[in-house]
Structure 1
Amino acid sequence: MTIWRPDPTTLRRPAYLSLADQIAHAISEGKLEGGARLPPHRRMAYELDLSVQTVSRAYEELIRRGLLSGETGRGTFVRPQRREPDPPYLPERLGEVIDLSILKPVCETMHLDLMKKALARLAETLPPSAALSFRPNVVFPRHRAMAVEWLKVCGLDAPAANISLTNGATAAMTVALMSAAPPGSTVATEAIGHHTLTPLASYLGLTLQGLAIDQEGILPDALDSCCRNTGIRAVFIQPSAISPTATLMGAERREAIAEVARQHDIAIIESDILGALVENRPPPVAAFAPERTFYFTSFTKTVVPGLRIGYLVAPDRYVAAVANRHLVSNWMATPMVAEIATRWVADGTALELVDWQREALRKRHQIAAQMLPDIPFLSHPQSLHIWLPLSGERTEETFVSHARLQGVAIAPGASFRISPDEKGRAVRISLGSTTEEELRTGLGVVANLLRGDPEHLLLAI
C-alpha cells in the first residue's frame, strides 16, 4: 500500500501553513485515514527539505484545527473524522468546522441520559390529557402551578392565571410582540440586540428602533427620547446577560426603565432566557412594572436544548390577548415536553442542571481568559458567549471569513446590529457549543488572527 506524502514542489510561503493545508486536503480526500500515523517531525523535515520548526508549526496548526492529535511517546496521528450524513439531513457542524457561532449551553452525555430516562418514565406514566386533549385549559393547570414555583426561582412572583406555556422562547417572544404591538407600530430595543428580532418584526409588520446602550443595557434617557419623538408601542429588552454584549442591568436601571415605560404608557417585553442561571442579579424588570411587562423565560439555554418549553407571563390587561394569539400561532405547547419540564422542576432536576451549567460555564470562561489573555472582550460569568470588539482595520466580514477558512465559525456583529448608527465592529463567540478541547482550538485560531497582520493573513490563506 502506498503511503501518502506531501509534494514539496507545491509548497509556498509561509511553508508551515502550506504544508498544513496539504495534509488537511489529504485527510478530507481520504488519502490519510483516521488513525494514520504521520512521520516524525525530523523525518518529514528531511523528506521535504524543511526545518524541523516548520514541520512542528504545521503539525501544531493541524492539531488546532482538530485534524491531528499528538500523543507523547507515540507520535502524531490523524483524528477520526465525523462522517457527514447524506442529504437532506444536515449535522449541526459540517466537516471540520468548530462551530462557535451558535449559542448553546454546555451539554454532556449526562443530559442525553436524563432525557432518555425521562422519556422512558413518561411512557409508563403519561397522563391521558397529555395525549388525548386539544384544550390547553384541560392539559396545563398543574403545569402552570409548577411554573409559578420556577418563576420564583427566577425572581418573579406571578399568578398562575397570567402564565402561558409556550414551545420555547421564540414562541413566547412572537406572542408577546403580537399582543403588545399591532402591525404598523414601532418597537424599541437595544442598538445591539436579538438576532431574530429583526426578521420577526418584519414578518409582523413592525418597525424596530435601536437605542443607545452602555455596560448595563438601554439608557433610560434614550428610551424617554424615543417615546417622545417616535411614538413607540413597546420596548424589547434583554437585561440579564443574554444580550450580545452580555450586559447585566442593575436594579436602579431596571427601575428607571420601568418608570419611563409607565410615564409613556408603553409595554415592556423582557427576555430572560437565562433565568435562574444568572447569580446575584436584581429582580426582573417585570417585578418593577408587572402591569405592563411581558416576561418570558425558558429551559433550552440553561437545562437542555431539547426541553423546548417556555413560560410567558402577561400583564392582567393582556391575558386574553396573549391566550388568543397563542392559540392562532401555536395552539398550545407540546404537552409531553411540558410534562418533563414540570416533573424536573418538581423533583429538583431542573435546578440541579442549572447549577451544573453554571459550573461548566465557569470553566469555559476560564478557558477564554487563558486563550485570550491580552485581548479585551465583554462577558458575564454566566453568559454563554463573549463579545469580542475588533480593532484596527479589520472588518467583521473578513475576520469571520478568515476564521472560517481555518476551520472555526463565529458570528459577525452585523447579525445583532439593530441601529445603523451603531458602528462598532465585533464578533460573538459561543463558549458552550463545543467540547473544551475544541473551544481551546477555536479560540487559539481567533487569538492568532487577532495578533496577526490582516494584510499578511489575507496572503497566507
Structure 2
Amino acid sequence: MTLWRPDPTTLRRPAYLSLAEQIARAIADGKLESGARLQTHRQMADDLRLSVQTVSRAYEELIRRNLISGETGRGTFVRSLRREPDPPYLPERLGEVIDLSILKPICEPLHLDRMKKALGWLAENLPASSALSFRPNVVFPRHRAIAVDWLRTCGLDVSATNVSLTNGATAAMTVALMSVAPPGSKVATEGIGHHTLTPLASYLGLNLEGLAIDDQGIIPEALDACCRESGIRAVFVQPSVINPMATLMGIERRAAIVEIARRHDIAIIESDILGPLVEDRPPPIASLAPERTLYFTSFTKIVVPGLRIGYLVAPDRYVAAVANRHLVSNWMATPIIAEIATRWVSDGTALELVNWQREALRTRHATAAEVLSGIPFLSHPQSLHIWLPLTGERTEEAFVAHARLQGVAIATGTSFRISNHPWHPAVRISLGSTTEAELRSGLGVVANLLRGDLEHLLLAI
C-alpha cells in the first residue's frame, strides 16, 4: 500500500472531482507510481470524512481518464503511464462541466433542422452510385465540379481533376503528409500548431521541426534556416486564424514563405479549414504557389460538425500520389455526406450557414471582451477560440485543474506546443462549444481565477 494520502483540507466542491484531480496530480507527479494500490472506497471515505458514493464517483472519473483500474477481489491500482498523447479537450462531456476545451462552431436548433431536412431530401434523391459503387471515379465527378465552385469562394481557381473529396480535414492532412514526405523525412511547422500533427507525424514516421513564430505565424528566416540546415521535405502552415494563437498571416509573409519554398524546392501543406468564414483575408498560399501547395478546407468548423467532408487540392505532380494514398487510408469519402455538401454548396445553404456563423461569432467575441475586460488575450473576429496567456506563477496544468474544479474545462497551451523555444504558459478557450449563457459563466470563472492571481501578485509587492 502506498504511503501517499489525499489532503482533505484542499478538497473543494464538487468533492468527487476535487478528489479525482488531487489523485491525478499525484500520479502525474510520481507520488503515486504505476501499480500502486489505492485505498478501498470505504477506507478513503472514512479518512477524508466523505461519503462512499463521493469516493466511488472520484474513482469512476479516474477510471474514465484511464489513470486507474479496478480488479475484482484485489483492489484499485494506478495504471501504467500512457505513452499516447492526451487530447487538449475532454474526450466526453460530463453534465456538470461547461466545456470550453473542444473547438466547435456555434450550433443552434437550426443546424439540426437543416441536417434533418437534408437527410429527408436525400432519402428521396440518393443516386444509385452513392449507395452502390466502390469506385471513387464513378461516385465523385459531379461532386468535384461543385467543389471547384466552393474553392472559388475560398480564393482558389482550380481544376476538378486536382480536387479530392476527403472525410474532413484530418483525413486530408494525413493524405497530404503521406504524399509529400516519406517515412524518416522532416516536416517543418509552426512552433505552436496543430495538436494532432505531432502524433500523426509520429505514426507516419516523420520528424517535426517546430519553427519560431510571431503575430503572423512562421518567421521566414526560421524557415529558411531550417531548410538549409535540416533538409526538410515540406512545411505545414495554418495561416488563417485556425492556429492556436488565432493569427492571420499577411500577404507579404505568405509571399515570403512561397519564395523560400521555391528556393529550396519543398512542398507546402496549407490548412484552411475556416475557408470563407474569415473576412478580408489574403489569398491562400496555394493561389501564390499552386505548383507545390497541397491545400485543404472542410465544412465541420464553419457549417455543421456532422458534415464531415473536405476538399484536398493537389498540384498535378502530386495528384496520383494523393489518389493512391487516399485509397489505402480511407478508400474514399463517405458518398452520402458528400451528397449533402454538394447540395448545400449548390443551393447556397453552405454559404448561408457560414454567414450565420460569422455573425454569431461577433456576439461570442463581444461576450469574451466584456467578461475578460482588462485581461489580455489573443483572438480574431472570426476565430472559434481565444488564446489567453496566464499571469502569476500558476502552471497551465494547475490553472486548468482549478478551472475544472469550478466546473469549467479549458485546454492547456502546451497541447499545441511543437518546438522547444521559450514558452509562456497559456490556455485555449473555445467560444462556440456551448451556449451563450454557459460561455459567459465559464469565462467568468476564468476571469475570477486570473484576477485572483493578479490580486495576489499586487499584495506580494
> Normalising by structure 1, what TM-score?
0.80
Q: 1:314 is matched by which residue type in structure 2? A: A
Deviation at 1:450, TM superposition (A): 0.3
Matched, 1:353 2:349: no
Native 8 Å contact 2:14 2:405 kept in 1 = no
Structure 1 CA distance for aligned equivalents of residues 112 and 190 of structure 2: 35
Structure 1 CA distance for aligned equivalents of residues 179 and 211 of structure 2: 22
Give the equivalent residue in structure 1 for 2:274. 274
Give the equivalent residue in structure 2 for 1:448. 448
Q: 2:361 is matched by which residue type in structure 1? A: L
Matched, 1:159 2:159: yes
Give the equivalent residue in structure 2 for 1:313. 313
Native 8 Å contact 1:106 1:432 kept in 2 = yes
Count of aligned pairs between the two proteins: 381
Give the equivalent residue in structure 2 for 1:243. 243
Unaligned residue ranges in structure 2 (runs of 5+):
1-7, 19-60, 65-89
Native 8 Å contact 2:212 2:421 kept in 1 = no
Native 8 Å contact 1:394 1:454 kept in 2 = no
Specify the SS of the correspondent of 2:208. strand
Specify the SS of the correspondent of 2:147. helix
Native 8 Å contact 1:326 1:332 kept in 2 = yes
Render the CA deviation track for 1:251-295: whole Å, top value 9, x for unaligned.
Answer: 111111011000000000000000010000011000010000000
Assess, with a 3 A threshold, how the Cα gap between structure 1 residues 341 and 21 changes in structure 2: closer, same or farther.
Answer: closer
Aligned pairs for 1:51-70 (under 5 A) are none
Render the CA deviation track for 1:85-144: whole Å, top value 9, x for unaligned.
Answer: xx9xx9941120010000000000000000000001000010000000000000000000
Give the equivalent residue in structure 2 for 1:101. 101
Deviation at 1:422, TM superposition (A): 3.7
Native 8 Å contact 1:191 1:422 kept in 2 = no
Render the CA deviation track for 1:209-232: whole Å, top value 9, x for unaligned.
Answer: 000111110011110000000000
Give the equivalent residue in structure 2 for 1:132. 132
Structure with larger Rg: 1
Structure 2 CA distance for aligned equivalents of residues 292 and 115 of structure 1: 36
Render the CA deviation track for 1:133-190: whole Å, top value 9, x for unaligned.
Answer: 0000000000000000000000011110000000000000000000010000000000
Native 8 Å contact 1:273 1:298 kept in 2 = yes
Structure 2 CA distance for aligned equivalents of residues 237 and 192 of structure 1: 11
Moved over 4 A (4+): 454-457
Deviation at 1:424, TM superposition (A): 1.4
Unaligned residue ranges in structure 1 (runs of 5+):
1-11, 26-83
Give the equivalent residue in structure 2 for 1:190. 190
Specify the SS of the correspondent of 1:188. strand
Give the equivalent residue in structure 2 for 1:423. 423
Native 8 Å contact 1:178 1:325 kept in 2 = yes
RMSD across aligned positions (CA): 2.3
> Normalising by structure 2, what TM-score?
0.80
Native 8 Å contact 1:93 1:99 kept in 2 = yes
Larger displacement relative to structure 2 (242-251 or 92-101): 92-101
Structure 2 CA distance for aligned equivalents of residues 438 and 181 of structure 1: 43
Specify the SS of the correspondent of 1:101. coil
Deviation at 1:421, TM superposition (A): 1.8
Assess, with a 3 A threshold, how the Cα gap between structure 1 residues 21 and 329 changes in structure 2: closer, same or farther.
Answer: closer
Native 8 Å contact 2:299 2:307 kept in 1 = yes
Matched, 1:218 2:196: no
Structure 1 CA distance for aligned equivalents of residues 123 and 109 of structure 2: 21
Deviation at 1:391, TM superposition (A): 1.9
Deviation at 1:21, TM superposition (A): 5.5
Native 8 Å contact 1:240 1:249 kept in 2 = yes
Native 8 Å contact 1:406 1:445 kept in 2 = yes
Aligned pairs for 1:20-419 (under 5 A) are 92-419=92-419
Native 8 Å contact 1:166 1:332 kept in 2 = yes
Q: 1:125 is matched by which residue type in structure 2? A: N
Deviation at 1:13, TM superposition (A): 10
Structure 1 vs Structure 2: percent identity of aligned residues?
Answer: 79
Specify the SS of the correspondent of 1:287. helix
